[in-house]
Amino acid sequence: MKSISSETGRCVEDWSKYRLYDYDHHASVHALGLKHNPTRGLTHVFLKSVNYVPNGGKDVVDRFEVVAAGVFAISDVLTEMDSLMNYNPGEAKQVVDELVEEFNRGMDRDGTRVAFFSLLFSDDKNLSAYLSTGMLWNVADAVAEWSNSFFLFSSSG
């Protein structure tokens, strides 16, 4: 069995916690433009390249920095998703299709829930790419919250 350094072990442990946080749902939702077009959540993905910053802070979210990000149509980046996630060609499409189908089966038809995708990845080979799904449970409440947040943010001096 191969031994890993304590620094590598901490990095991997921090990564497993970081990628499960829902801290960046607001960023993902805004970047994807779900307020204006909720259907983009199932057709687009928010890609985020991150670096590990071991001494970045006490909280695990402070130990990672997003160094590049962008929103892409899933159909345009499937080959890159296969590569980033070490999948066989076509496997990312299969995974995305299964997740969309699962969401559609369980979705209330009143349109109150919106799912979305984000993909975290890093040049650091200790950090495996992670495709996450998020969900807004009540779009109307989320829109009201966004409006209030934006108003509060934009009105501060």
Query: Is 23 a domain residue?
Result: yes
Query: Is 43 a domain residue?
Result: yes
Position 151 scores a pLDDT of 38
State the residue range of the domain holding 106. 6-155
Query: Is 149 a domain residue?
Result: yes
What pLDDT band is residue 26 in, cutting at 50, 70 and 90? confident
Per residue, what are the HEC states of 14-69? HHHHHCCCCCCHHHHHHHHCCCCCHHHHHCEEEEEEEEECCCCCCCHHHHEEEEEE
Query: Is 103 a domain residue?
Result: yes
Mean pLDDT in residue range 73-86: 97
Give the pLDDT confidence of 30-48 residue by residue, as tens digits. 899 888 888 899 999 999 9
pLDDT over threshold 50, residue 157? no
- The DSSP letter of residue 59 is S
Query: Is 26 a domain residue?
Result: yes
Position 10 scores a pLDDT of 92
pTM, two decimals, is: 0.80
How far out from the chain centre does Cα 130 lie? 8
pLDDT over threshold 60, residue 147? no
Query: Is 1 a domain residue?
Result: no
- Which pair of tokens denotes residue 4? 């890993």
Beta-bridge partners for 68: 49
Give burial (CB, 10 Å; 0-12/13-18/19+) of 122.
Answer: buried
pLDDT over threshold 60, residue 2? no
Q: How many structural domains does the chain have?
A: 1
Give the pLDDT confidence of 86-125 residue by residue, as tens digits. 999 999 999 999 999 988 887 655 566 788 999 999 999 8
Q: Closest Cα partner for 6 from 44, 54, 41? A: 54
The answer to whether the CB of 75 falls within 8 A of the CB of 81 is: no
Q: Closest Cα partner for 32 from 21, 22, 20, 42? A: 42
